[in-house]
Amino acid sequence: MRPDGEAYARIESARGDMGCYVIGRGAEEAYRARFRTGSFTAMAMIEAKSPGLFLADLVALIASFDVVAPEIDR
């Protein structure tokens, strides 16, 4: 199967929704593939929630989001 075009799918994962976006150009492999996980989305909230916190409080804030570090790096 050689996909041509764009496709987006969302699935429920253990830490929130995971979005999968794939672009195909008719080749064997996808032209582009992107995955967005719940941990990546949670990291965007840290800047809004952290003004005025001490460093120890920031560590607790990040831990409360239940972030998995390798998921952020996708």
CA distances from 69 to 15, 34, 39, 41, 65 (A): 12, 17, 8, 12, 11
- pLDDT, tens only, 10-32: 998 877 788 999 999 988 888 99
Mean pLDDT for the chain overall: 86
Give me the pLDDT at residue 24, please.
92
Give me the pLDDT at residue 74, please.
61
- pLDDT, tens only, 27-51: 888 899 988 888 888 888 888 888 9
Give me the pLDDT at residue 22, please.
92
